[in-house]
Structure 1
């Protein structure tokens, strides 16, 4: 059976203007040609009662298909799962790569994701991933990789693991790479030299170098939403949502303070995890969306998809 999920726009050759409508048109079986997510459909319509060898007008329809298939690194995490959910709700095929594979919750969207276990296990110079199983046929890779620990651990998780993923995606010919990074909070340079930020910035540089016209770096601040931790749900939205509303309501007053060192630790609005996910979807579907995006720009991108 041929699947017609996630079909792009169909372009048709001009239909002949002179053909008879005196008898019903009976279509001959269409032929399908598949290659690299694109196919052509050729249909011939002949008048009833006319032999196949008789001259008749034909209508040829050529359908150029572009289906979206994304790979989410860390798709079982807080941000990653929101991205997976938003993508499948819009008919995008999703593969998640994470250590734990399929999440334990039973939400309906979970069944629509291909969950693969086998995260980038970071040991000295070793990355255990079967990229053939993950990247073949993908149209975009979204990385939510990141974590805390010692300086060395953060450099490897936030930086080197993402660098490996970027280069593998490039080698497999994946058109887009989207990185979830972090806002710098106007921190002084000596604080930005920690392993967490240097790792993230190293990953950003690799994305923008390998994907200068399609790489996307999202820099959210504090991300809120309902976060699952084992069997418990931590309602970060109870703090984040009202804080975002208050800070946006007074941003005209606080804007002069934004140049002060570390001021954004208090003044940068939190970002909904759903807004981050929708900004990713905008990046997947909009070829003109690339580069580095700030907190406000993430919100704008999310609103485009939401509308």
Structure 2
């Protein structure tokens, strides 16, 4: 790499330059972006170094080059995404109403847990310096509640991320199960589709929508671990082994309620994390595409 004889200190870029090119970005935005442009940097514990070695810039980086915000990070899918991100050396911030999960695990200590609600949170405390947002927000309840949590909450998050200049947004949505239109119009599915439309509209070349079917894995509920993988894993193998026989049935309304293969929570998590660093990942990902995207895990 050619040496650069003169470059503004990252800790204090000219105000005019910052306003002109990074109107909503903080210093941490610039630090992250600079390191992602194949330039290694060293940041002292007390702050950023104010000078470069004039002979070389290939010094060791002490900061993570990605910073992901996981909405609903303490939930079943959200915690798997946080864990996968930590395993790849990504800095993780979780925003959820319950805050830090109660179960002990080494990776839990490496996540910044912020308790809060997307409708009322101070986004300055959550999004500054982030390079991606992953939303696992969703749930069941009355029609009004489902439209609010599956749709409106995600729309608020997408618009906040866009306003703060976050380059990537990944939404965990749901497979449509080949349901008839009158069922798709229910609060759960209509909320999810509204959120999808917002992601694809605001992030046409970098937004990712994952549509898994039934997600299996070890799920914690009220301190107990429910081994959903004991059902989901063998069912997935059976459905994949018989897919040539069942394919003629796939055109029947609601057939995917029985025929859509379950998806491992780890596959969903790694597909989401791989989407952060791969610029070729954007658009809607089906069940098969989620599994393929997860294969690039290291």
Q: TM-score, normalised by structure 2?
A: 0.83
Q: Deviations over 1:55-82 (max 9, x none)?
A: xxxx333679881000000000000000
Contact 1:146 1:157 in 2 (8 A): yes
> Does residue 261 of the first structure (1) align with residue 253 of the second (2)?
yes
**CA–CA separation in structure 1 for the residues paired with 2:191 and 2:57:** 50
Q: Secondary structure at the match of 1:217?
A: strand
**CA–CA separation in structure 1 for the residues paired with 2:96 and 2:3:** 48
Q: Deviations over 1:178-217 (max 9, x none)?
A: 0000000000111111000000000000000000000000
Q: Which has the higher helix share?
A: 2
Q: Where in structure 2 are the equivalents of 1:112-127 lying within 5 Å?
A: 112-120=110-118, 127=119
Match in the other structure for 1:131: 123
Contact 1:74 1:119 in 2 (8 A): no
**CA–CA separation in structure 2 for the residues paired with 1:274 and 1:289:** 18
- The gaps in structure 1 that reach 5 residues or longer are 1-11, 16-30, 45-58, 121-126
Picking from 283, 290, 294, the partner of 2:275 is: 283
Q: Secondary structure at the match of 2:92?
A: strand
Picking from 207, 210, 220, the partner of 2:199 is: 207
Q: Deviations over 1:267-296 (max 9, x none)?
A: 000000000000001101101100000000
Match in the other structure for 1:142: 134
Match in the other structure for 1:18: none
> Does residue 153 of the first structure (1) align with residue 142 of the second (2)?
no
Higher mean alpha-carbon deviation, 297-306 vs 80-89, is at: 297-306
**CA–CA separation in structure 1 for the residues paired with 2:170 and 2:120:** 21
Contact 1:13 1:62 in 2 (8 A): no
Aligned length: 260
Q: Secondary structure at the match of 1:109?
A: helix
Match in the other structure for 2:108: 110
Q: Deviations over 1:68-113 (max 9, x none)?
A: 0000000000000000000001100000001111101110000000
Give the superposition deviation at 1:257: 1.3
Structure index of larger Rg: 1
Contact 1:257 1:263 in 2 (8 A): yes
Match in the other structure for 1:241: 233
RMSD over aligned Cα, in angstroms?
A: 2.0
Give the superposition deviation at 1:14: 7.3
Q: Where in structure 2 are the equivalents of 1:1-307 lying within 5 Å?
A: 12-13=1-2, 33-34=10-11, 35-37=30-32, 38=34, 42-44=52-54, 59-61=55-57, 67-120=65-118, 127-306=119-298
- The gaps in structure 2 that reach 5 residues or longer are 12-29, 42-51
Q: Secondary structure at the match of 1:148?
A: coil
Contact 1:186 1:263 in 2 (8 A): yes
Contact 2:67 2:129 in 1 (8 A): yes
Give the superposition deviation at 1:254: 1.2
**CA–CA separation in structure 2 for the residues paired with 1:300 and 1:177:** 19
Alpha-carbon distance change, 132 to 14 in structure 1, aligned in 2, over 3 angstroms: closer
Q: Deviations over 1:14-58 (max 9, x none)?
A: 79xxxxxxxxxxxxxxx97454322666435xxxxxxxxxxxxxx
Contact 2:10 2:31 in 1 (8 A): no
Contact 1:118 1:128 in 2 (8 A): yes
Q: TM-score, normalised by structure 1?
A: 0.81
Match in the other structure for 2:23: none
Runs of 4+ in 1 over 4 A off after TM superposition: 31-34, 39-42, 62-66
